[in-house]
Structure 1
Amino acid sequence: MKCCINCFEDVELKNIIEHLKEKGDCDFCHSHNVYVYDIEKDNKIGELLTEILYIYTLEDTLPREFPTNKLEKLEDILMNEWHIFNLDKTSMIKLVKELCKKSYTRIDDVFEQKVGFKELHLKHLKHIGLYLENNAILKTNTWEDFVESIKTKNRFHTDFFNENELEKILSYTVKTLKKGEVFYRARISKDKKGYNITEMGAPPANLASAGRANAEGISCLYLASDEKTTFYEIRAIAYDYVCVGRFELNKDIEIIDLSSLDKISPFISELECMEYAINVDILNKIAYDISRPMRRHDSKLDYLPTQYISDFIKKKKYAGIMYKSTLSETGYNLAIFDESIFTCIDTKVYEVESLSYDYK
Structure 2
Amino acid sequence: MHFQSLSSYKNFQSSVQTRSRFILDDESNYFLKAIEDTCKKRIKTILTSEYLWRAQLGCDYIPLDQEGTIVAELPTPFEPKRMKPLNDRASEGRANPKGIPYLYVATDKETAMSEVRPSLEAILSIGRFKPTKELSIIDFSIPFQGPRKLFF
Q: TM-score range by the shorter chain?
A: 0.5 to 0.7
Find the aligned partners of 1:165 and 1:225 in 2 and give their Cα distance.
25
Q: Aligned-pair distance for 1:240?
A: 4.1
Determine if contact 1:185/1:224 at 8 Å carries over to the other structure. Answer: yes
Find the aligned partners of 1:194 and 1:147 in 2 and give their Cα distance.
34
* Residue of structure 1 in register with 2:137 after alignment: 255
* Residue of structure 2 in register with 1:49 after alignment: none
* Structure 2 counterpart of 1:193, from 70, 76, 79: 76
* Structure 2 counterpart of 1:176, from 33, 36, 45: 45
- Relative to structure 1, the CA distance from residue 238 to residue 254 in structure 2 (aligned partners, 3 Å threshold; closer, same or farther) is same
Superposed counterparts of 1:53-202, under 5 Å: 135=1, 143=8, 146-160=12-26, 161-162=29-30, 164-187=33-56, 188-191=58-61, 192-202=75-85
Q: Aligned-pair distance for 1:246?
A: 1.2
Determine if contact 1:180/1:251 at 8 Å carries over to the other structure. Answer: no
Determine if contact 2:54/2:113 at 8 Å carries over to the other structure. Answer: no
Q: Aligned-pair distance for 1:257?
A: 0.8
Q: State TM-score, norm by structure 1.
A: 0.31
Q: What is the one-letter code of the residue matched to 2:19?
A: K
Find the aligned partners of 2:106 and 2:60 in 1 and give their Cα distance.
22
Q: Does 1:265 align with 2:145?
A: yes
1:172 counterpart SS class: helix
Structure 2 segments unaligned to the other structure (5+ residues): 62-74
Q: Aligned-pair distance for 1:252?
A: 0.7
* Residue of structure 2 in register with 1:330 after alignment: none
Find the aligned partners of 2:99 and 2:106 in 1 and give their Cα distance.
22
- Relative to structure 1, the CA distance from residue 246 to residue 166 in structure 2 (aligned partners, 3 Å threshold; closer, same or farther) is closer
Q: State TM-score, norm by structure 2.
A: 0.66
Give the RMSD, CA atoms, in angstroms: 3.0
Determine if contact 1:184/1:245 at 8 Å carries over to the other structure. Answer: yes
| Structure number, greater radius of gyration | 1
Q: Aligned-pair distance for 1:170?
A: 1.8
- Relative to structure 1, the CA distance from residue 257 to residue 228 in structure 2 (aligned partners, 3 Å threshold; closer, same or farther) is closer
Find the aligned partners of 2:82 and 2:40 in 1 and give their Cα distance.
34
Find the aligned partners of 1:145 and 1:185 in 2 and give their Cα distance.
28
More helix, by proportion: 1
Q: Does 1:222 align with 2:104?
A: yes
Find the aligned partners of 1:152 and 1:197 in 2 and give their Cα distance.
36
Find the aligned partners of 1:176 and 1:242 in 2 and give their Cα distance.
28
- Give CA-to-partner distance per residue, 1:233-292, whole Å, 9 cap, x none: 3333455443221111111111111111xx2234xxxxxxxxx34xx89xxxxxxxxxxx
- Relative to structure 1, the CA distance from residue 203 to residue 165 in structure 2 (aligned partners, 3 Å threshold; closer, same or farther) is same
Find the aligned partners of 2:128 and 2:48 in 1 and give their Cα distance.
14
* Residue of structure 1 in register with 2:86 after alignment: 203
Structure 1 segments unaligned to the other structure (5+ residues): 1-134, 267-275, 282-360
* Residue of structure 2 in register with 1:5 after alignment: none
Find the aligned partners of 2:39 and 2:93 in 1 and give their Cα distance.
21
Determine if contact 1:182/1:246 at 8 Å carries over to the other structure. Answer: yes
Q: Aligned-pair distance for 1:208?
A: 1.1
More strand, by proportion: 2
Determine if contact 2:59/2:125 at 8 Å carries over to the other structure. Answer: yes
* Residue of structure 2 in register with 1:290 after alignment: none
Q: Aligned-pair distance for 1:172?
A: 1.4
Find the aligned partners of 2:123 and 2:11 in 1 and give their Cα distance.
43
Q: Aligned-pair distance for 1:136?
A: 5.8
Find the aligned partners of 2:123 and 2:16 in 1 and give their Cα distance.
38
Which structure has more RCO (C-alpha within 8 Å, separation ≥ 6)? 2
Q: What is the one-letter code of the residue matched to 1:208?
A: A
